[in-house]
Chains A and B, each alone.
Chain A
Amino acid sequence: MEAGATRIEVRIDEDLGADRLTIEVADNGRGMNEETVRRVLDPFFTTRKTRHVGLGLPLFAAAARQCDGDLAIESAPGKGTRVRATFRHSHIDRAPLGDMPSALMAILLSGRPVDVAYTHRVGEAEFALDSADVRRELGEVPLTHPAVRQWLWQTLREGEESLRAKR
């Protein structure tokens, strides 16, 4: 978020026919130049000042590669960054997806106005929620309003639940 992003796209595609899981995260932050993109998978490269390691992307890449997948980064200064990781869906070392509703709620309830466009596809079935649409409907009512929060949480849980049966 220090990259100044106001919008994050998260796309999870579980293509069971091709036995492929694709996780894509894109932001509209400040982006990176070519040199930085080259170095960003090095665990001892980071732009932060608190400590000299940055493990997020190196670990994500390692997770993808140990599951017969790969990780690709596209970025341009001023435009944003897109990270795409692929996994063999049935690979024994592939970690399960985890609690997506809670992970998304943690972002949506943040005091910073970041929008999340979330798409999760399992085969032909799809669940999508874009918090920008929600904000547009709500006007000045914030996402943290108890009634809105309840709606978000329930919508996310029901959406993920509807995909579970498709797996």
Chain B
Amino acid sequence: MPKIKSLEELKKIREEAQRDLRIRTETGTRIIIGMGTCGIAAGARDVMHAILKELERRDIEAHVETVGCIGMCAKEPLVDIEQAGKPRVTYANVTPDMVPRLIEEHLVKGRVVQEWALGRLESTGIQ
């Protein structure tokens, strides 16, 4: 089994990760995907798949996190993008083919894709 060998790889990842861990958690990008039953039924797993693939393809380092249902099931799949120092933006009814543009415009160019955004969360509250 290649299992042992690949666990060895983790040691290297750990060493490298430790160095930039603080910087990353303070200044990094987080992508948060609603993965409750409603989200999964609406296609959130395919959206997550598309996000992971796009990040891998473009070699973008961002934290991806799955969360539960926030009660807006009709708007699922919901994807939030949070970049340090900027408001957290929620995108609604996200489909896999929307993912490349979301990453290109929001993550790379830093421009919110207005027509897909449902709202944003400032440190002071929802707008």
Chain B: residues with CB nearer than 8 A to chain A? 1-3, 6-7, 9-11, 13-14, 16-18, 21, 24, 35, 40, 44-46, 48-49, 52, 55-56, 61-67
A92 at the interface (CB under 8 A from B): no
Contact A144 B17 (CB under 8 A): no
Contact A151 B9 (CB under 8 A): yes
A-B contact pairs, 23 of them (CB 8 A): A102-B46, A102-B48, A102-B49, A106-B40, A106-B44, A109-B65, A110-B35, A110-B65, A110-B66, A111-B67, A137-B7, A137-B10, A138-B10, A138-B13, A141-B18, A144-B64, A145-B21, A145-B63, A146-B61, A147-B17, A148-B10, A148-B17, A151-B10
Residues from chain A with Cβ under 8 Å of B56 in the complex: 150, 153
Q: How large is the interface on A (under 10, 10 to 19, 20 to 34, 35 or more residues)?
A: 20 to 34
CB distance from A152 to the nearest CB of B (A): 10
Residues from chain B with Cβ under 8 Å of A155 in the complex: 6
Residues from chain B with Cβ under 8 Å of A145 in the complex: 13, 17, 21, 24, 63
Contact B49 A99 (CB under 8 A): yes
Give the interface SS of chain B, mostly helix, strand, loop or mixed.
Answer: helix
How far apart sit A35 and B10, CA to CA, in the bound complex (Å)?
45
Given contacts A106-B35, A148-B13, 9 further A-B contacts (CB under 8 A): A102-B49, A105-B52, A128-B3, A137-B7, A137-B10, A145-B17, A145-B21, A148-B17, A151-B9
Residues from chain B with Cβ under 8 Å of A147 in the complex: 13, 16-17, 61
Q: What 1/0 mask marks residues of chain A from 123 to 167 whose CB sits below 8 Å from any chain B CB?
A: 000101100011001111100111111110101001000000000
CB distance from B61 to the nearest CB of A (A): 4
Residues from chain A with Cβ under 8 Å of B61 in the complex: 146-147
Chain A: residues with CB nearer than 8 A to chain B? 99, 102-103, 105-107, 109-111, 126, 128-129, 133-134, 137-141, 144-151, 153, 155, 158
Residues from chain B with Cβ under 8 Å of A126 in the complex: 1
Contact A110 B67 (CB under 8 A): yes
How far apart sit A106 and B14, CA to CA, in the bound complex (Å)?
22
Contact B3 A109 (CB under 8 A): no
